[in-house]
Structure 1
């Protein structure tokens, strides 16, 4: 009996061949979902600093790589054994898969899901093969097992989160990394409580959500530090009680308004840190 040939579709995406090169729009082949997988037609994709780190080599990954790990769209195909999603569902991608059944997931530490160990291998969770292939036959790594710099993705159900149909998909993509990382840094990992002093250093896509999370958790002082005036203005609109252009400007004021205790939590969300 002949084995059925795997089905695939031809589409295009932003692919990085080597660190230091530019993203290029190239045609590639995207496989249909196998057991446990889902195909999604994306409506939007975010560009995260982590994607830029692929270009600089700061985040090593097997090349070539299909970028993007913040996406939102509609489920178009469902593979065998998928129980959490169906065709037509609106979903957001998760930059770390959460299977829900491994030991870390069972104790509420989904960010340590066992399936996350293969995050930058380029190999699908279901069968350790590439779901994407370049036009010249190379296996194509999907950034964070996703690869949202393309119109369609085929990913494991553990990498998708169902959302309500009335949430705008154009902006929902940001929930996949920037919002979750920033908010979670303040509320979950940082453990902000009512009355706390929280300092957020670097008000980019992650930092601005850390500001919102700290404010929502009831922090008495939410200090935002960034040299860009526009970012400080946005921080004030979204929950910062104090803003500063530098650490040097912030330190004496923070000492005074915290009665010498300084910060309960400091969240560093700058793009790069020079430790010299």
Structure 2
């Protein structure tokens, strides 16, 4: 039978999150009911809530959930009630990219995760007063006490690891880590530059510190973020408000430039400078998303030295293997994710949004 749960609803673009009772549909064959324990708050949630993407509102967002499975549909095979799970993005499982181990580039990724607001068959997972709500966000909509979660969004994890400590793995952390491990794959002695020291950027710094890279340069305008980057493994920091970072990178590397750059800011001017800061055969990974339609001019002749610019979604991760590995690193203390997290009761989601927007916390995690 459908159940009533408390959820944070965004009524329209630009409206705040407001707590409301909503009705959760029965699980479809490939869905599970998950009782949320924690959920990370991500800039993507804020972008959609602000009306920046055509997700159907009113709706329930949230895509970094972590919780405990309560019930499963008849076709679910990967989890059972009682399992601890981290929730991530969903995918079809059958297209070429999914079959080749790249589900973040699923042929139907946008409609299944970011824009559709419904299951792939068009049915709704959430309603209120008999009217459908936008839901199924990243196959989960985890800003609610319970969520109907697509089977391919579920990742079973070690029950000994507190769920509040690993909720951000579902999106922001795996994006930053995957940018370094799955795309840059630093060689011994290489230089990695991370542009922006938010949750994604600091995750990239931690990943680089676990790689053979020997020079790790974090770039930001906020002194406290740069100090944290150093504590998490950056060997150098650059205050972009005081120095041109491309020149600083050239000085640090003896004029050679960066082997890898992770661009997390979504600022096209910063992206251009990052490409200019690359060494021959260097790679820049585009992670930050500017408004739709944004373009950037590049020096074409400057690319002929073998430079590459690669776009990235969710770390190009295969979640069923990647997320448990990250959980193990958190458990062992080698991925000190707790340094980024500030926790808030779910009822204080607006305070969490405010603190994140004003830079008082790197990664807010809501507790249920």
Normalising by the residue count of structure 1, what TM-score does the alignment of the two structures yield?
A: 0.90
Aligned with 1:258 (options 253, 269, 285): 253
**Whole-Å separation in 2 of the counterparts to 1:14 and 1:128:** 22
Contact 1:50 1:59 in 2 (8 A): no
Structure 2, gaps ≥5 residues long: 270-293, 297-368
Which stretch of structure 1 is more off in the superposition, 248-257 or 211-220? 248-257
Structure 1 residue 184: deviation in Å? 0.6
* 2:64 matches 1:70: yes
Structure 1 residue 82: deviation in Å? 0.7
Structure 1 residue 136: deviation in Å? 4.8
Aligned with 1:243 (options 237, 242, 262): 237
C-alpha offsets along residues 47-102 of structure 1, whole Å, 9 cap, x if unaligned? Answer: 101111013222221111201100100000010111111111110011x2145443
SS of aligned partner of 1:140: coil
* 2:203 matches 1:205: no
Contact 2:55 2:134 in 1 (8 A): no
Instruction: Map 1:137-152; keep pairs closer than 5 Å.
Output: 137-152=131-146
* 2:26 matches 1:32: yes
State the match for 1:4 in structure 2: none
C-alpha offsets along residues 232-262 of structure 1, whole Å, 9 cap, x if unaligned? Answer: 1111111101011107343333212323221
Instruction: Map 1:1-276; keep pairs closer than 5 Å.
Output: 7-94=1-88, 96-98=89-91, 100-118=93-111, 119=113, 120-125=115-120, 127-246=121-240, 248-270=243-265
Closer, same or farther: CA 90–114 of 1 in aligned 2, 3 Å: farther
C-alpha offsets along residues 133-181 of structure 1, whole Å, 9 cap, x if unaligned? Answer: 1235133333223111111001111011111111110111111111101
Contact 1:65 1:142 in 2 (8 A): no
What value does the CA root-mean-square deviation take over the aligned residues? 1.9
Closer, same or farther: CA 136–17 of 1 in aligned 2, 3 Å: farther
**Whole-Å separation in 2 of the counterparts to 1:112 and 1:164:** 27
C-alpha offsets along residues 191-246 of structure 1, whole Å, 9 cap, x if unaligned? Answer: 32222211111111111001111221221211101111111111111110101110
**Whole-Å separation in 2 of the counterparts to 1:141 and 1:100:** 20
Closer, same or farther: CA 97–203 of 1 in aligned 2, 3 Å: same
Structure 1 residue 22: deviation in Å? 1.3
**Whole-Å separation in 2 of the counterparts to 1:99 and 1:165:** 27
Q: How many residues align?
A: 268
Normalising by the residue count of structure 2, what TM-score does the alignment of the two structures yield?
A: 0.69
**Whole-Å separation in 2 of the counterparts to 1:220 and 1:231:** 21
State the match for 2:333 in structure 1: none
**Whole-Å separation in 1 of the counterparts to 2:49 and 2:159:** 35
**Whole-Å separation in 2 of the counterparts to 1:17 and 1:208:** 32
Structure 1 residue 12: deviation in Å? 1.3
**Whole-Å separation in 2 of the counterparts to 1:150 and 1:75:** 14
**Whole-Å separation in 2 of the counterparts to 1:271 and 1:23:** 24
